[in-house]
Amino acid sequence: MAIYGGIEAGGTKFVCAVGSGPQDIRDLVRIPTTTPSETIGLVIDFFSKHKNLSAVGIAAFGPVDLSNSPTWGYITSTPKPGWAFTDLAGLIGRALKVHVGFDTDVNGAGLGEHRWGAAQGLDNFVYLTIGTGIGGGGLINGKLMHGLVHPEMGHVLIPHDKLADPYKGHCPFHSDCFEGLACGPALLERWGQPAEVLPANHPAWALEARYIALALHNYICSFSPQKIILGGGVMEQPKLLPLVRQNVQQLLNGYIHAKAIERDIENYIVPPKLGKQAGVMGAIALAIQAHKIVQ
């Protein structure tokens, strides 16, 4: 049976796994994201212990270069100190002498959910993470969402009632885009407490649900996804998901005639079935895809 390497390359840690899927993880390590040379060096050391990897998949924080160009596989203009224009896929692929599958963290997680999780059998779905940042990906017509660059669903603009919510927003590029209003650090800045300690009855959650639902309304109208998977640390507040579903139905106001939205929304807007493993399993799924392409 073929064995793969998967790297969930995040802004705070790199999770690396060896295996062939959620039921077959043979080794796993978490490496802090420090400097590119230190972190990538430790990643290479970890995988060097495992011979006969058929391919390695990397699901990376971005923006990343997915185009057919000499800088394919790079992390590009990230504000993360030291990491801008890092040849992530190239350094790892050359050191390990393996084929590399490379995509955004959210496209990777979406591919993992498609192979093993909540999106099995679907050709059109959105995977959204709401954590330190907000990002979205998934499949359209059976293919990972790519384009000019890749989607930046966290940076869509949504209505911001500045009287009801005077908080200016956290995005360094757009201030009050969706991410600027609704990412974890925005909750901390607006309410003075980290999202994980805000109690379930705090008004933060009604506002948060509204912002998430406004963005989902736009994705539903744009891509007509068959399912929406919501991951990321902020979604761990248990009250949030039911509030998001209610707000989506209210905003769409019966316009889109689909049983999934009108009568089965609990199975339409869902958490990742792979849970916290969605990211690293997505990276393994990218490795499997890359291996199939070269075979």
Q: If DSSP codes are grouped into helix, strand and coil, which group holds residue 10?
A: coil
Sign of CA dihedral 280, 285, 287, 288: positive
Q: Which of 59, 171, 234, 287 binds Zn ion (CB under 5 A)?
A: 171
CB 146 within 8 A of CB 165: no
- What's the min distance (Å) between Cβ of 281 and Zn ion? 28
CB of 88 to ligand ADP, least distance (A): 16
Handedness of CA 274, 125, 271, 171 (dihedral sign): positive
Residue 171: contacted member of Zn ion, ligand ADP, none (CB under 5 to 8 Å, by partner type): Zn ion
How far, CA to CA in Å, does 237 sit from each of 125, 194, 234, 271, 275? Answer: 23, 12, 6, 12, 14
Q: Helix-strand-coil percent breakdown of the chain, rounded to 5?
A: 40, 20, 40
Residue 62's closest CA among 138, 136, 171, 170? Answer: 136
168 binds Zn ion (CB under 5 A): no
- Which of 238/254 has CB closer to ligand ADP? 238
Question: What is the nearest approach in angstroms of ligand ADP to the Cβ of residue 8?
Answer: 9
Strand order in the sheet with 227-231: 143-144, 134-140, 125-130, 227-231, 269-270
Six-digit token string for 90: 């190239």
- Quote the least distance from Cβ 62 to Zn ion, whole Å: 13
Nearer to ligand ADP, 54 or 247 (CB): 247
Contact partner at residue 236 from Zn ion, ligand ADP, none, CB < 5 to 8 Å by partner kind:
ligand ADP
Query: Could you tell me which residues come within 8 angstroms of residue 181 by beta carbon, excluding any fewer than 6 positions away?
Result: 158, 160, 165, 167, 169, 170, 211
Taking the least distance from each CB to Zn ion, the nearer of 112 and 180 is 180
Q: By CB under 5 A, which span of 148-156, 217-225, 241-249, 281-289 interacts with Zn ion?
A: 148-156
Q: Is 155 in the site for Zn ion (CB under 5 A)?
A: yes
Cα 215–Cα 102–Cα 156 angle in degrees, nearest 5: 15
Q: Which of residues 237 and 277 has its CB atom nearest to ligand ADP in the complex? A: 237
CB-wise, 54 or 237, nearer to ligand ADP? 237
185 binds, among ligand ADP, Zn ion, none (CB under 5 to 8 A by kind): ligand ADP
Q: Which residues in this chain contact ligand ADP in the complex, by CB under 6 A?
A: 10-12, 129, 131-133, 184-185, 194-196, 232-234, 236-237
Nearest Cα residue to 5 out of 32, 45, 39, 38: 45
Minimum CB–partner distance for residue 187 and ligand ADP (Å): 7
Q: Which residue is nearest to ligand ADP (CB)?
A: 184
Name the residues that contact Zn ion, by CB under 5 A.
Answer: 155, 171, 173-174, 177
